[in-house]
Chains A and B, each alone.
Chain A
Amino acid sequence: MPSLKDLRKRIDSVKSTRKITSATKMVAASKLRRAQEWAEAARPFAQHMSRVMASVAAGVPRSDDMPKLLIGTGKDQTVLVVIVTSDRGLCGALNSSLVRTARRRINALLADGKTVKIMPVGRKGRDALRRDHGARFVGQVDTSKMRKITYADAQGIAEQITTMLDGGEFDRCVIFYNTFKSVISQVPTEKQLIPVAIPEGGGTKLEGDASYEAEPDEGEILAELLPRNLAVQVLNAMLENNASFQGAQMNAMDSATRNAGDMIARLTLVYNRARQANITKELIEIISGAEAI
């Protein structure tokens, strides 16, 4: 039976934990709203972009001298895995389930005899994969300084990827991130970045046999379009993941706050019982002492 003093200490400590978790929850809730707005604001561009991509690509005959960003290197030996995670924890199973998905994929690729290179974006993914796959890391991105994720940040990452592709360091590139479905549901997602997956017939339908006139020409437009497309895909992944993180954190902290409340109620009950038992014991001692005289 713990003493009254010990119980009081425990109650106080759980109370301060509850303060922290509920404050974190509130912060996450307010950040979530903004993160969600950013993620939603970025969607129209991605939609228009993929439509234009499909329109352009439909007008260009497939050939081997097309940009590598569009068709890849033609081989499928080395795979670059980009994994977008959050920098901080306290968000439930968000990062660990994403890392689990990615790890399963990496192991499957390795079992097929492929070479895998990993580029972690965000601290949690880097820490989780370092032990098993640390040797496969190529470059990493520190997102802890980015307070708002901007297009320029995504462009920086896209440039790194492009440089590696031009250097022939990989043949295929996939990105892992959490898609924000709702506050209670974030889905680990895998998406192929290179070669670009172009939706069939996704372009604007033109009347009759009309086709787009390109200015200056298709090749140059593709050269402008592809790096942007890559950066936008990366930006989208980062924004979705950021919104997912805030949602998951809010959720996790909400249940932590509730659990702390339950624990305080239980401990208070034990404390009061112990206090009453003490009083009763003292009374019995006094009464039996008085009777003995």
Chain B
Amino acid sequence: MADRVKFDLVSPERQLRSEDADMVVVPGSEGDFGVLPGHAPIISTIRPGVIEVYKGTGAPERIFISGGICEVSADRCTVLADDAVEVASLDRAAIEKRIKDAEEDLADAKTDLDQHKASTAVAVLREMLTAAAR
């Protein structure tokens, strides 16, 4: 058995990561879980949050994703993300502005569908802000 996890992070528009990692922490919709080599096979949906990739002894790489699906088998961990941004490149001021915009959209939303979309957007952005603040 391999002693590292093959970690793939892809968004619809590009492949963001394809590398070996010691451990990957994924924000599953039922709670965060860490993936080490030999993990039981699991497929889980992901809530908006931060993926942490541990390599070597340094601090983990942190990547924010707005949602998606994660597939884990014994030696690999594949994350299909909707949208992914490195936490280091998040800008708090810009996010706060986007939250404000999204909240206005929410207030303006007329149909149920629009309302649902806007509230999801607000929730994702809030999560992004907490990620940036940490």
Minimum distance in angstroms from B36 CB to a CB of chain A: 16
- Residues of A near B71 (CB, < 8 A) are 48, 51-52, 55, 204, 212
The segment from B49-57, B72-80, B96-104 that touches chain A is B72-80
Do A212 and B30 touch across chains, with their CB atoms under 8 A apart?
no
Interface size on A, residues (CB 8 A): 32
Contact with B along A31-62 (1 / 0, CB 8 A): 00000001001101100110110011000000
Does B8 sit at the interface, judged by CB under 8 A? yes
Contact with B along A230-243 (1 / 0, CB 8 A): 01100100000000
Does A200 sit at the interface, judged by CB under 8 A? no
Do B12 and A42 touch across chains, with their CB atoms under 8 A apart?
yes
Do B69 and A52 touch across chains, with their CB atoms under 8 A apart?
yes
**Count of A-B contacts judged by CB separation below 8 Å:** 91
Do B45 and A41 touch across chains, with their CB atoms under 8 A apart?
no
**Once bound together, how far apart are the Cα atoms of A51 and B30, in whole Å?**
23
Does A211 sit at the interface, judged by CB under 8 A? yes
**Once bound together, how far apart are the Cα atoms of A19 and B68, in whole Å?**
49
**Once bound together, how far apart are the Cα atoms of A48 and B44, in whole Å?**
15
- Residues of B near A150 (CB, < 8 A) are 13
Interface size on B, residues (CB 8 A): 27
Does A2 sit at the interface, judged by CB under 8 A? no
Contacts from A to B (Cβ < 8 Å):
38, 41-42, 44-45, 48-49, 51-52, 55-56, 150-151, 154, 204, 206-207, 210-216, 220-221, 224-225, 228, 231-232, 235
Minimum distance in angstroms from B79 CB to a CB of chain A: 9
Tell whether A221 pairs with B45 under 8 Å between CB atoms, given A48-B80, A52-B78, A204-B71: yes
Closest residue of chain A to B11 (Cβ to Cβ) is: A45
**Once bound together, how far apart are the Cα atoms of A224 and B47, in whole Å?**
11
